[in-house]
Amino acid sequence: MIACGCAVCTSSNPKDNRLRSSILVQSATTSFVVDTTPDFRQQMLRINNRKLDAVLFTHPHKDHIAGLDDIRAYNYFQQKPMDVYANSLTTEALIREFAYAFSEKKYPGVPEINLVTIDESPFVIGDIPVTPIVAWHYKMPVFGFRFGNFTYITDANKIDENERQKITGSEIMVLNALRKEPHVSHFTLDEAIQVVGELKVPQAYFTHVSHQLGKHDDINDELPLHIRLAYDGLQLSI
């Protein structure tokens, strides 16, 4: 957190040093990100990610979309527009907030975006099947996504019963857990632990963690062994 001197923000443990939340999903032939955070450029540079086939968005909050302009590099090297999948609430926000990329007369070099409005119907990107899962972020519907046996849900504090059925059978789930104190639009640590238990997912990682939660190693020590805090650079194979 900018301008914060707390124990997490001043920690020397790299796992306490977090960029904004997103994931890169890769198969042998397909590669896409879920959300382009304000740190997207740094995240792609950090791992020298050379190929990106698509972007999926969870919801239109700035900490999840602000980095979209930087897909320009992939436009340049891949010589084609970027496929961007999002619900209508998010596509409207993208057109509003990146108006220069959608205007009639575009300045040369602006990001080239192929917007695909999605609903709850499953679809496929390359060889990766995608099932959208609707969750609630206070009163905003957000998309989580299931890819095979892996489910990713960030920025939510409620998942309805019928949507929970779409998660059942996942082997690994990533879920948001902001802090211990109640929050209007994010699961607390206890609420997230409860959801993992209710869904009977055998392995879970918590993301979108605030500096207010406490130090990574301390919180991990408090958690049951099948639940761990995620950290920047964490890689999972499924």
| 3 vs 28 by CB, closer to Zn ion | 3
When asked if residue 61 is in the footprint of Zn ion (CB under 5 A), the reply is yes
When asked if residue 35 is in the footprint of Zn ion (CB under 5 A), the reply is no
Residue of the chain from 53, 155, 163, 191 that contacts Zn ion (CB under 5 A) = 155
| 63 vs 69 by CB, closer to Zn ion | 63
Name the token pair of 159. Answer: 């998942």
Q: Per CB under 5 A, which region of 49-57, 71-79, 152-160, 230-238 contacts Zn ion?
A: 152-160
Q: Check: CB of residue 98 under 8 Å from CB of residue 69.
A: yes
Please give the backbone phi and psi of residue 20, each rounded to the nearest 5 degrees, phi first.
-70, 160
When asked if residue 63 is in the footprint of Zn ion (CB under 5 A), the reply is yes
- 191 contacts: CB under 8 Å, gap ≥ 6: 157, 177
Closest distance to Zn ion from the beta carbon of 20 (Å): 7
* Other beta carbons within 10 Å of 190: 11
- CA distance linking residue 31 with residue 126, whole number of Å: 8
Please give the backbone phi and psi of residue 189, each rounded to the nearest 5 degrees, phi first.
-60, -50
When asked if residue 9 is in the footprint of Zn ion (CB under 5 A), the reply is yes
- CA distance linking residue 194 with residue 175, whole number of Å: 11
When asked if residue 7 is in the footprint of Zn ion (CB under 5 A), the reply is no
When asked if residue 211 is in the footprint of Zn ion (CB under 5 A), the reply is yes
| 92 vs 171 by CB, closer to Zn ion | 92
When asked if residue 186 is in the footprint of Zn ion (CB under 5 A), the reply is no
Residue of the chain from 6, 45, 47, 234 that contacts Zn ion (CB under 5 A) = 6
Residue of the chain from 4, 45, 234, 236 that contacts Zn ion (CB under 5 A) = 4
Residue of the chain from 1, 47, 234, 238 that contacts Zn ion (CB under 5 A) = 1
| 86 vs 128 by CB, closer to Zn ion | 86
- CA distance linking residue 32 with residue 29, whole number of Å: 11
Name the token pair of 54. Answer: 């698509």
Name the token pair of 188. Answer: 């607390």
Name the token pair of 169. Answer: 């059978």
Binding region for Zn ion (CB under 5 A):
1, 4, 6, 9, 61, 63, 155, 211
